Amino acid sequence: MTSPVFPRRQVLRFGAALGLGWLAGCRQSRAELVAHRGDLPKAWVAQLPAPWQARWLEDPAAVVASASQSPAPGLIQCLDGWATTLPANRLQPFGTPALLARLEAAAQPVSRLFGPAGSAAVAFPWACSPWVLLLRRRDDLVPQATEDWDVLLDPSLKGGVVLPSSPRVVIDLVRGDASRLRRLRAQALAYDDHDGLNLLLTGEAEAAVVPRQRVVPLLRRDPRLRAVLPATGAPLSWNLLLRPDSEQPAPPLDWLGAILEPPLLPLLLAAGWVPPLPRGLLEARLTTFPASMTDLLLPSPTVWERCRSLPPLTPQQQKSLQDLWRETTPDHAPGTVT
């Protein structure tokens, strides 16, 4: 039998069609996770399966904006305060009910971005962190700090406190009390989530309010630092994964679930990342950790019950807090409450 013979032009057309089809297949199989640098554990990202790839951005606002781009990424990572600024039509249901069912009850409203019970879960809240107080060479203040946040009003800290850049978090620290808020603002050296720790480490500040996750790695290598979660509790910051309205594939379930069990879970805990798993499961994984670290990663039930999420504000609530902030805010401080 003789081999079929194709004219050269037909062969070229056939080859071009194959090439275009291959490229289209590559585009369809491409899957991207967009994240703010520093807000995802490297050990977890290293296990991201093909065809998924991570893209890091330096600005959390840019991560949120990527959900509205065309084409949108398959996944984005952001904190709950940023996530609640996304229009609902930019997100699709996350589609992992079995994984969400493994998380503690407090994670369920966050998975709905605080939407009504029964609404679709659009986020995977994979880690939760209370804001904590980090002190540098101020062991004398630790006993008071374990009681409540009023330690920040100590006269010896005047001009030496780094506060969060979020006015809402600062207001929550004093539970909306105008007198204490005014006094707290008078203590501030800076309002800085990004470089605030540097001010503390260089000795320009003596106290900083930061998410727990950022503190844990520092405590292991800097004996000058003490971290305290006051008994009155603290506002919570949630790390989320969300699915923009996109044609990219569904999230890889095995990869998502890997952070909820060994061998990855102990690595995350040691780095300060704490998934919102039931207390008994976390206790079992922290038995080999130093007591001081365990108390920070898994506060007592009484203290943990006093920690609180910060759901979106209604327009009236936002105006009320904005007025409070304006009345007590020095000229150099941020001016928007979200």
Per-residue confidence (pLDDT) for residue 329, from 0 to 100: 78
The DSSP annotation for 216-238 comes to HHHHTT-TTEEEE--TT--BEEE
Mean pLDDT of 316-330: 93
pLDDT at position 195: 84
Per-residue tokens: 40: 């995802």
Asked if the domains at 30-128+237-295 and 129-235+311-328 fall in one CATH topology, the answer is: yes
Whether 273 and 213 have beta carbons less than 8 Å apart is answered as yes
What is the fold of 30-128+237-295? D-Maltodextrin-Binding Protein; domain 2 (3.40.190)
Give the residue extent of every domain in the chain.
Answer: 30-128+237-295, 129-235+311-328
Tell me the pLDDT tens digit for each residue of 225-256: 999 999 999 999 999 999 999 999 999 999 99
The Cα-based distances of 151 to 62, 85, 128, 198, 325 in angstroms read 36, 33, 24, 21, 21
Type of residue at 91: L
Confidence category of residue 37, pLDDT binned at 50, 70, 90: very high
For 258, half-sphere exposure in the C-beta direction (CA atoms, 13 angstrom radius) is 18
pLDDT digits (tens, 9 = 90+) for 175-210: 999 999 999 999 999 999 878 899 999 999 999 999
| Domain 129-235+311-328, CATH | 3.40.190.10
CB 125 within 8 A of CB 107: yes
What gap in Å lies between CA 275 and CA 269, rounded to an integer?
Answer: 8
Closest among 74, 53, 76, 77 to 127, alpha carbons compared: 77
| Measured CA angle at 271 (ends 96, 257), to 5 deg | 15
Cα–Cα dist 231/212, whole Å: 15
* Torsion, CA 156, CA 157, CA 158, CA 159, rounded to 10: 140
Residue-wise pLDDT tens digits, 251-291: 999 999 999 999 999 999 999 999 999 999 999 999 999 99
How many angstroms separate the CA atoms of 82 and 125, rounded? Answer: 13
Nearest partner of 265 among 295, 242, 288, judged by Cα: 288
